[in-house]
Amino acid sequence: MHAKDEKFTSSIKRRELGAELRRIRERAGYQAATMASKLNWAHSSISRLEAGITKAKEGRVGFYLGWAKATTAEFDRLVALDRQPDDGYLARLHPAGCPDGLLVVTLLDTESDSFTTYDPRGIPRHLQIEPYIRTVLTKFRYQDGPALDAAVQDRLDRQTSWTRRHGPFTFYISETALPANLAVAHEQLVHLSILSSLPHCHVRLVLAGDSTAEFCTGFTLYRHDEHPPVLHLQAPTASLFLERPGDIAFYESQLEHLANLALSRRETREWFTRTLADIERHLEQDQPLTQGRDEASLEARE
C-alpha cells in the first residue's frame, strides 16, 4: 500500500499516449510544426506531449485528435487513456507468449538507455534464435503457418534495436534454459557466445543448483535518462508495467541477489565454451545430453 500523498509522475502511460498521437499526426501528413500552428500551441508543447514528458491539460488530447483526423475508435480509446489515473502501473493483454507487439514494449525496447532482464524458464526474447522462438511459441499453441512465421519474424526484427545502443544490457540466464534439442541448443549457445563478446552485452549464467526458487516470474527493468525506470512483468497472456519507486526498489534488490548468485561474464563465456564442446561431442556420438550436463562439466564448474 502506498501513501495517498506520495508524489508520483507516471511515465509509461504518457509515452504510450504520446506515441499514438505522433502516429496519428504523421498518418494525417502533418509535420509537428504544422500541428502546432493548427492548434495554436508552442512547437515544444507538441514535442513534449508526443515524447510523454508532459501531461496535456484537460481536453487538449481530444482537441489534438480532432485536428489530426483520428477515427472515432481512436478518439474514444486515447481520450480514455489520457483520463486514466497516473497510479504507477499499466496492464496490457497480448497474444500468448508474445508481448513483442505491444506499443509499450516497443517503446521500452527501442528507447531505453539500458535494461536488465531475467527469465527463470528460458532464454530472454531479446537473445532468442529463430528455431528457439519457434519452439517457445509452439508451446503456446501456435501452429505451423503464416501466423507462426509472422510472430517469429517480428521477434527477430525487433532484436537489433538494443544492439545499436551503448547500454549496458544485462541478461541473467538460467542453466536450464537451453532446449532439449541438441542442434537448437548448439545454435543458441553459439549465438549467446557471440553476443556476450560485445562490450555492452552482459550475459551471466545462473546455475541450476543455486537457490533461485523465489524468482518464479521473469522480469525486465528498463532505464531511460529522461524517464523514470519501468519494470516489465510478463505473464503468458498479459504484461504488467510498474513505475512506483517502492516497486522498482524491490526488483532492484532482486537483481542484486541475482548478481551475487550468477557466474561472472568471463565464467559464463567459459561455461558456454565447455557446454558447446559437450554438445558437439554428444552430437557426434548421437547421444542425448542430460539437463544437468555430464559429470565432467559439473566438475569443471566447481
- Give the residue from 83, 103, 125 where a domain finishes: 83
> Alpha-carbon distance 253 to 296, whole Å?
34
Whole-Å CA distances, 218 to 21, 120, 246 = 31, 6, 18
The three cell numbers of residue 116 are: 536488465
Contact 203, 195 (CB under 8 A): yes
Residue 2 lies in a domain: no
Full domain range(s) for residue 23: 12-83
Neighbours of 80 (CB within 10 A): 9
Of 49, 64, 83, which marks where a domain is finished? 83
Question: What cell numbers appear for 11 in the block?
Answer: 511515465
Q: pLDDT tens digits, residue range 20-31?
A: 999 999 999 999
pLDDT band at 3 (very low <50, low <70, confident <90, very high): very low
49, 95: one domain: no
Instruction: Give me the helices (H) in 3-102, please.
Output: 12-27, 32-39, 43-51, 60-67, 72-83
Domain-embedded: residue 7: no
> What pLDDT, in 10s, does the model give residues 273-301?
999 999 999 988 876 655 544 433 433 33
In a domain, 3, yes or no: no
Q: What predicted TM-score, i.e. pTM, was given to this entire model?
A: 0.87
pLDDT confidence band for 107 (50 / 70 / 90): very high
Same domain as 113, residue 69: no
- Say which CATH number the domain at 233 has: 3.30.870.10
pLDDT tens, position by position, 111-152: 999 999 999 889 999 999 999 999 999 988 888 899 899 999
Residue 1 lies in a domain: no
Letter string b/e over residues 156-178, b meaning 16 or more CB atoms within 10 A of that residue's CB: eebbeebeeeebebbbbbbbebb
Residue 63 lies in a domain: yes
Residue 234, domain member (yes or no): yes
Contact of 116 with 252, CB cutoff 8 Å: no
Give how many domains the chain has, as a whole number: 2
Average pLDDT over residues 240-256: 95
Q: What is the pLDDT of residue 296?
A: 39
Same domain, 109 and 76: no
Grid coordinates of 54: 508532459
Give CA torsion, residues 26, 30, 32, 36, to 10 deg.
-130
> What is the average per-residue pLDDT within 79-88?
90
φ and ψ at residue 135, rounded to 5 degrees: -60, -45
Tell me how far apart the alpha carbons of residues 48 and 227 are, in angstroms, rounded to a whole number. 12
**124 and 35 co-located in one domain:** no
Cβ count near 100 (within 10 Å): 19
Element (H, E) at 248: helix 245-261
Q: How many CB atoms within 10 Å of residue 197?
A: 11
Mean pLDDT of the chain: 88
Choose one of 46, 61, 83: the last residue of a domain.
83
On whether the CB atoms of residues 236 and 96 are closer than 8 A, the answer is yes
CB 200 within 8 A of CB 171: no
User: Mapping DSSP to helix (H, G, I), strand (E, B) and coil, where does residue 207 land?
Assistant: coil
Q: Do 51 and 184 fall within a single domain?
A: no
pLDDT band at residue 58 using 50, 70 and 90 as cut-offs: confident
Q: In what order do the strands lie in the sheet with 201-206?
A: 89-93, 238-242, 227-234, 219-224, 114-119, 169-174, 201-206
Q: Which helix (H) or strand (E) is 132 found in, with range?
A: helix 130-139
- Beta strands at 227-234 and 219-224: parallel, antiparallel or unpaired: antiparallel
Average pLDDT over residues 182-199: 95
Mark whether 157 and 125 lie in a shared domain.
Answer: yes
Q: Residue 44 maps to which CATH number?
A: 1.10.260.40
